Amino acid sequence: MSLEVLNGIMIFIIGTIFGSFYNVVGYRLPNNMSIVYPSSHCPNCNHKLRFYELIPILSYLFLKGKCKVCKKRISIFYPFFELLTGIVFLLSYLSYGLSLKFIISITFISILIIISISDIKYYIIPDEVLIVGLVLLIIELLINNYVNNIGLYKAIVLPLLNGAASFAVLYLFKCFGDLLFKKESLGGGDIKLLFIIGLTLGFDMSLVVIFLAAFIALPLSVINLIKDDNNVLPFGPYLAISSAIIMLSKVDINMILNFFIK
Write out pLDDT tens, residues 229-238: 566 778 899 9
Residues 46 and 130 in one domain: no
Residue 111 domain-assigned? Answer: no
Residues 260 and 132 in one domain: yes
Residues 80 and 197 in one domain: no
How many domains would you assign to the chain?
Answer: 2
Residue 34 domain-assigned? Answer: yes
Residues 158 and 28 in one domain: no
Domain boundary among 98, 116, 145: 98
49 pLDDT above the threshold of 90: no
What is the distance between the terminal CA atoms of the chain, rounded to a whole angstrom?
Answer: 42
Residue 50 domain-assigned? Answer: yes
Write out pLDDT tens, residues 94-146: 999 999 999 999 999 999 999 999 999 999 999 999 999 999 999 998 898 77
Residues 143 and 252 in one domain: yes
**DSSP string for 193-236:** HHHHHHHHH-HHHHHHHHHHHHHHHHHHHHHHHHTT-------H
Give Cα 255 to chain centroid, integer Å: 24
Q: What integer is the mean pLDDT of 214-237?
A: 77
Report the alpha-carbon distance of residue 69 to residue 220 in Å, rounded: 38
Write out pLDDT tens, residues 139-165: 998 898 778 888 788 888 999 999 999
Residues 69 and 187 in one domain: no
44 pLDDT above the threshold of 80: no
In terms of average pLDDT, the best of 68-77, 220-229, 233-242 is 233-242
Residue 117 domain-assigned? Answer: no
Residues 176 and 51 in one domain: no
Residues 148 and 233 in one domain: yes
Residues 204 and 132 in one domain: yes
DSSP state of 56: T
User: Which structural domain, as residue segments, surrounds residue 253?
Assistant: 126-262
DSSP state of 38: S
Residues 138 and 94 in one domain: no
Domain boundary among 98, 117, 151: 98
pLDDT at 41: 73
pTM: 0.91
Residues 80 and 142 in one domain: no
Residues 152 and 84 in one domain: no
Residue 195 domain-assigned? Answer: yes
Residue 210, CA distances (Å) to 174, 213, 217 in order: 12, 5, 11
